[in-house]
Amino acid sequence: MAATDEGGQARRTQPAESAEPARPAVRIGSVSGSAIGIGDHNTVTNTNTGGAGQVSDPAQAELLAAVRALREDLARFVATDGTAVLDAELVAAEEEITTAGAAGPGRLARLRDALALAGGVAGTLASGVAVGQAVGAMLGG
């Protein structure tokens, strides 16, 4: 600690003796998207309600629901090369929508191509038709 004497000169002083041991100083500027617990015997629970995983566009949310339904329906069929490609594109689309909030035009085009490759299987399923309609609406065709 620093103090000044009567002449204005700086001098070092010793802190007063305390019965408690000195605790380290902690300074936190700002925190976002996290939880912090301070002190003994605490419990911290953090629930992130924003950011990744949030789909704010209703069209993207509808596509996500249709993608998930089609993946469930495809699991009931014997896999072919076409359905395997479609399933891989559905997985990628679901991941992109849940992490970025939307599937981009390139992903939508690949999904449309995979639907065409899967052919009749996707076309006979209501979930396949729903994905096709959602993708077509977003791509403008």
Q: Give the tens place of pLDDT for each residue, 86-137.
A: 999 999 999 999 999 999 999 999 999 999 999 888 888 999 999 999 999 9
Whether the predicted pLDDT of 140 surpasses 60: yes
pLDDT for the residue 110: 96
Report DSSP state, residue 78: P
DSSP 2-68: EEE-TTS-EEE-PPPP-SSPP----------S-----STT--------SSTT----HHHHHHHHHHH
C-alpha torsion sign, points 59, 125, 70, 86:
negative
Cα 65 to the chain's mean position, in Å?
Answer: 16
Whether the predicted pLDDT of 2 surpasses 80: no
Whether the predicted pLDDT of 43 surpasses 80: no
Please, which pLDDT band fits residue 23 given cuts at 50, 70 and 90?
confident
Least confident span in 6-10, 61-65, 118-122, 131-135:
6-10
Whether the predicted pLDDT of 32 surpasses 70: no
pLDDT for the residue 69: 96
Average pLDDT value for the chain = 82
- Give the CA dihedral 75, 77, 83, 87, nearest 10 degrees: -10
Show me where the domains of the chain are located. Answer: 58-139
pTM (predicted TM-score): 0.61
